[in-house]
Structure 1
Amino acid sequence: MLKRILIYGTMAGLAVGAMLYATTAAPWGMPHGAVGMLIGYTTMLIALSLVFVGIKRQRDDAGGGVIGFWPAFGMGLGISAVAGIFYVLAWELAQATTVSGFIDSYTAALIADKKASGASAAELARYAAEMKAFAAQYADPLFRLPMTFAEIFPVGVLVSLVSAALLRNPRFLPARREPAPA
């Protein structure tokens, strides 16, 4: 099971990490706001579909077509954790090689959104101070790394729950059996 966790987690992590790096390194810049979130979470969901594939392969190949909910869920969490590590590494690589001033442009966009929503000068000043404090925290890897991991891992938990719930039923997408030679 550990071998499958590492294989499928690595494949999912490379897929989501490559897309994260590509969108970050794009010449037009990384999209912020709703578009960026849509691209990011869609990519995560597609990459983490390998959780389902990994659990199904484990069920069909090693489990003889049967797997319990908890072993399947645990395997899904393992695959998600490995993928999350790759995601974090891809973001750190992107930060080191392509993103100049990400946190500054990100916080400036949030402040501009707050201003556009009609915030008062006092609210805007308080929010700008919060964003400055957030930027200082974000510079610390002990804050940034778990925060980045927390972007992808909840998606992995959800995919793991759904996959384990579906695949615990051996009649759901049953393993194909080769007919015996005549």
Structure 2
Amino acid sequence: MNKIVLKNGFLGSSIVTALLLSVTFYMKANPEKEVSMFFGFAGMLLAFIFVVLGIKQQKDANNGFISLGKAFLTGFWITLFISTIYVIVWLIIFYNFFPNFAEHYTDMAIAKASPDEVAKVTEDMNSFKEMYKNPIMVILLTYMEILPLGIVFSFVSALILKKKQIN
């Protein structure tokens, strides 16, 4: 299982890393333009294809049988690998290339808010900026972008691909 997790985790993390780098450098080069969340979400889903492939490979390695638990754990470990690489890459980008990200993101959110929402959005964004001053919060918030989706993807994939051995 370790080889399957490492291989698929590496391939999936390559996709989210490439997307994260592309979007980040695009945002730095075009600070007035907002990148659609669709690209990030689509990239994550594309990376999580390797969760499905990993579970399938684990099933094939076990003569076509895999329990729900084993399938989910395989998917979970691949997801955790992909998510951890995503977090590490974001930390490198944030602290070395985009240290003003919180301000940039806050300014975009406030500018996009309707006149009725400006006060609430400003308050929320100031709270976000305060949280982003703490490296632990940066790590936790970044994991929250990708890990929950990956866990759901792992569970659904495990449900679809599970097959118990007939005695």
**Structure 1: stretches of 5+ with no match in the other structure:** 171-182
TM-score (norm 1): 0.80
CA RMSD after TM alignment:
2.0
Q: CA deviation at 1:141?
A: 0.8
3-state SS of paired residue (1:65): coil
The answer (yes or no) to whether the contact 1:23–1:30 under 8 Å persists in 2 is: no
Counterparts of 1:72 and 1:152, CA distance in 2: 20
Deviations along 1:61-99, one digit per CA (max 9) or x if unpaired, are: 2x1011011110111111100100000011112213332
- Name 1:13's counterpart in structure 2: 13
5+ residue gaps, structure 2: none
**Match of residue 39 from structure 1:** 39
Deviation at 1:167, TM superposition (A): 0.9
2:145 pairs with one of 151, 155, 165: 151
Distance 1:9 1:19 in 2: 15
TM-score, structure 2 as length reference: 0.87
Q: From the CA coordinates, give the structure whose radius of gyration is larger.
A: 1
Work out the CA distance in 2 between the residues paired with 1:98 and 1:160: 32
Paired residue for 2:133?
A: 139
Cα deviation for residue 129 of structure 1 reads 3.7
- 1:103 alignment counterpart: 102
Is the Cα–Cα contact under 8 Å of residues 13 and 85 in structure 2 kept in the other structure?
Answer: yes
Superposition map of 1:63-82 within 5 A: 63-82=62-81
**CA positional deviation for 1:45:** 0.2
SS in 2 for 1:45: helix
* Shift in CA distance, 8/70, structure 1 to aligned 2, threshold 3 Å: same
Q: Does the 8 Å contact 2:64/2:163 carry over to 1?
A: no
Letter in 2 for 1:18: A
Whether 1:160 aligns to 2:154 is: yes
Query: Aligned partners of 1:39 and 1:139: how far apart in 2?
Result: 26
Letter in 2 for 1:38: F
Cα distance in structure 1, aligned partners of 2:82 and 2:25: 20
